[in-house]
């Protein structure tokens, strides 16, 4: 187990190295930050000077080498725009995006697992057909549309929920989050639902398909022949077998939700990483963009590791190696 984890961390480092090169190259193709930092009519010497302070006058490989050297020390450079360490800037926003993503996942799990199970167990019922139709709609609806629809319905028409910001924050177990206050919950529910909508829809389909497959297996029939009641058959025997693909998808989606929360954060003015990265891309604020991508890459790797370990919990047949 320890060896396995160590191996995975080593693999992760290789991936991060590859990511850093790709990102570095892409960013350099993508315009000159000096142009956006200085007024268009700046003197040539001012441009030169700024290039020198930012280290942009050196050859590319030297720039990359310096970047890596600093990155290992946890120094991703100073934000060109805000003049504070870029990594810190991103890390400050990370919990807010995480909180949104976690809320989105919780909502999707709570809705999708029972709904998917029901649709698998009673495929002919009207409710099942409704569930499957809604999930199809949920998959097809783009985020900006569902977000705006929610705002229209719950904020504008019924004035039930606030449409922007994070609301009141409380601390619990050392974590600051709006999940711990009523006002905070009211603020988070719409953005979380928007962010999680696709995932609810997809999970429903996944749980249903997985469950249908599992229900055909001999061991389910055998459990029924043992006289076990529905609760034991479906939850204890069937659900645990269905969870393996579901866990993978939840894991991968958590990464996606964090990485692609920009649109939702923009719509609901949620002060997370997504909003920061949108602004930074507009300003070509390279250290911030690099820090963001680094964090996302690390997160993806960490999530993958956790998913693999969870597999092992759910399926003892899997050998870690």
- Mask 233-272, x = binds another protein (CB under 8 A)? ---xx--xx-------------------------------
Q: Which is nearer to another protein, 41 or 319 (CB)?
A: 319
Q: Which is nearer to another protein, 135 or 242 (CB)?
A: 242
Q: Which is nearer to another protein, 65 or 313 (CB)?
A: 313
Task: Name the segment binding another protein (CB under 8 A); options: 84-92, 160-168, 177-185, 222-230.
Answer: 222-230
Q: d(Cα 77, Cα 40) in Å, to the nearest integer? A: 25
Give yes or no for residue 42 binding another protein (CB under 8 A): no
Q: d(Cα 261, Cα 243) in Å, to the nearest integer? A: 25
- Please give the residues from 280 up to 319 whose contact with another protein meets the rule CB under 8 A: 314-317
**The three-state (H, E, C) secondary structure of 31-76, written as one string:** CCHHHHHCCCCCCHHHHHHHHHHHCCCCCHHHHHHHHHHHHHCCCC
Size of the site for another protein (CB under 8 A): 22
Q: Give the shortest CB-251-to-another protein separation in angstroms.
A: 18
Q: Are residues 300 and 229 in contact, defined by beta-carbon separation less than 8 angstroms?
A: no
Identify the burial level of 280 via C-beta atoms within 10 angstroms of its C-beta, where 0-12 means exposed, 13-18 middle and 19 or more buried. buried
Q: Which is nearer to another protein, 228 or 281 (CB)?
A: 228
Task: Name the segment binding another protein (CB under 8 A); options: 10-18, 104-112, 181-189, 211-219.
Answer: 211-219
Q: d(Cα 52, Cα 4) in Å, to the nearest integer? A: 45
Q: Which is nearer to another protein, 69 or 122 (CB)?
A: 122
Task: Name the segment binding another protein (CB under 8 A); options: 79-87, 156-164, 200-208, 223-231.
Answer: 223-231
Give yes or no for residue 128 binding another protein (CB under 8 A): no
Q: d(Cα 188, Cα 182) in Å, to the nearest integer? A: 10
Give yes or no for residue 320 binding another protein (CB under 8 A): no
Q: d(Cα 69, Cα 278) in Å, to the nearest integer? A: 27
Q: Give the shortest CB-316-to-another protein separation in angstroms.
A: 5
Give yes or no for residue 321 binding another protein (CB under 8 A): no
Q: Which is nearer to another protein, 41 or 124 (CB)?
A: 124
Q: d(Cα 169, Cα 175) in Å, to the nearest integer? A: 10
* Helices of type H across the chain: 2-29, 33-37, 44-54, 60-72, 86-121, 126-140, 143-150, 182-215, 218-225, 230-231, 240-259, 262-267, 273-282, 286-314
Judged by CB under 8 A, which of 221, 235, 269, 278 binds another protein?
221
Give yes or no for residue 71 binding another protein (CB under 8 A): no
Q: Where is 172: in which H helix or E strand?
A: strand 170-172
Q: Give the shortest CB-236-to-another protein separation in angstroms.
A: 7
Q: Give the shortest CB-56-to-another protein separation in angstroms.
A: 56
Collapse the DSSP code of 288 into the 3-class scheme (helix H, G, I; strand E, B; otherwise coil) and give the result.
helix
Judged by CB under 8 A, which of 179, 229, 248, 305 binds another protein?
229
Total Cβ atoms within 10 A of residue 226: 10
Q: Are residues 272 and 265 in contact, defined by beta-carbon separation less than 8 angstroms?
A: yes
Residues in contact with another protein by CB under 8 A are 124, 217-219, 221-229, 232, 236-237, 240-241, 314-317
């Amino acid at each position: 187990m320890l060896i396995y984890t160590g191996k995975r961390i080593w693999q992760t480092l290789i991936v991060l190295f590859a990511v850093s090169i790709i990102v570095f190259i892409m960013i350099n193709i993508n315009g000159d930050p000096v142009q956006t930092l200085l007024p268009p009519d700046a003197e040539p010497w001012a441009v030169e000077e700024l290039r020198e302070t930012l280290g942009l006058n050196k050859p590319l490989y030297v720039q990359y080498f310096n970047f890596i050297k600093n990155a290992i020390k946890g120094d991703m450079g100073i934000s060109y725009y805000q003049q504070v360490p870029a990594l810190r800037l991103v890390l400050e926003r990370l919990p807010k995006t995480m909180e949104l993503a976690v809320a989105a996942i919780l909502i999707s799990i709570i809705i999708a697992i029972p709904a998917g199970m029901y649709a698998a167990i009673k495929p002919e019922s009207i409710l099942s057909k409704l569930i499957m139709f809604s999930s199809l709609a949920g998959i097809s609806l783009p985020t900006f549309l569902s977000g705006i629809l929610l705002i229209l319905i719950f904020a504008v028409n019924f004035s039930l929920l606030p449409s922007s910001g994070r609301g009141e924050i409380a601390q619990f177990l050392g974590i600051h989050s709006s999940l711990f206050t009523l006002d905070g919950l009211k603020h988070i529910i719409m953005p979380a639902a928007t962010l999680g909508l696709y995932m609810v829809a997809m999970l429903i389909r996944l749980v249903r398909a997985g469950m249908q497959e599992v229900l055909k297996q001999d061991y389910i029939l055998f459990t029924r022949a043992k006289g076990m009641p529905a609760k034991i058959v479906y939850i204890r025997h069937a659900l645990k077998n269905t969870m393996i693909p579901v866990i993978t998808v939840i894991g991968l989606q958590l990464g996606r939700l964090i990485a692609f929360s920009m649109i939702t954060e923009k719509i609901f003015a949620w002060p997370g990483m997504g909003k920061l990265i949108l602004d930074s891309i507009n300003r070509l604020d390279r250290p911030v963009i690099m820090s963001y991508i680094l964090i996302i890459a690390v997160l993806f790797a960490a999530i993958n590791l956790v998913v693999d370990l969870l597999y092992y919990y759910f399926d003892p047949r899997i050998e870690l190696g």
